[in-house]
Amino acid sequence: MTLEWEQVNVDAADAAALGSWWAEALGWVVVNDSPDEYEIRPAPDRLPGLLFVPVPEGKTVKNRLHLDFRPDDQQAEVDRLLALGARHADIGQGEQSWVVLMDPEGNEFCVLSSRRS
């Protein structure tokens, strides 16, 4: 049996807006922008992607699954993501080498220490 990781599904109040935000944050391309799903990928033919689907309920608790990103320059990436609309998140992590941020709908993700650290 062989499995290929296709995508991560993300529930969203506004799938297109959140998908567009992540596309800009990651520098990815939009491969589907239909009203019931908004998909982005690193390139049209590269996997995995992120699939944003509209749901009526809002986010209420800390994510049980989140994405980690390893930048070349942690502070520059944190600053860039904050300028795009991310916010700092305190999920009880204490003093760590990574920075926890939230996207515009409150989904947590981490910006890890820089590669050259």
Q: Are residues 33 and 80 in the same domain?
A: no
How far apart CA 108 and CA 89 sit, in angstroms, is 7
Q: Are residues 94 and 112 in the same domain?
A: yes
How far apart CA 5 and CA 73 sit, in angstroms, is 28
Q: How far is CA 95 from CA 22, 98, 110, in A?
A: 26, 9, 13
What CATH number is associated with residue 9?
A: 3.10.180.10
Do residues 80 and 72 make contact, with C-beta atoms less than 8 angstroms apart? no
Q: Are residues 26 and 77 in the same domain?
A: no
Per the model's pLDDT, the better-predicted residue between 117 and 37 turns out to be 37
Domain count, the chain: 2
Q: Which pLDDT value is given to residue 93?
A: 66
Residue with token string 């590669």: 115
Q: Which pLDDT value is given to residue 116?
A: 67
The residue segments making up the domain with residue 28 are 1-57
Mean pLDDT of the chain: 92
Q: Are residues 33 and 15 in the same domain?
A: yes
Tens of pLDDT, residue by residue over 13-53, are: 999 999 999 999 999 999 999 989 999 999 999 999 999 99
Q: Are residues 83 and 104 in the same domain?
A: yes
User: What angle in degrees, to the nearest 10, is found between the helix axes of 15-26 and 74-84?
Assistant: 150
How far apart CA 57 and CA 114 sit, in angstroms, is 35
Q: Are residues 29 and 47 in the same domain?
A: yes
Residue 97 pLDDT exceeds 60: yes
Which of 57, 79, 95 is the endpoint of a domain?
57
**DSSP H or E stretch at residue 9:** strand 7-12
Q: Are residues 70 and 115 in the same domain?
A: yes
Q: Are residues 38 and 73 in the same domain?
A: no
Q: Give the whole-number percent of the chain exceeding pLDDT 70.
A: 95
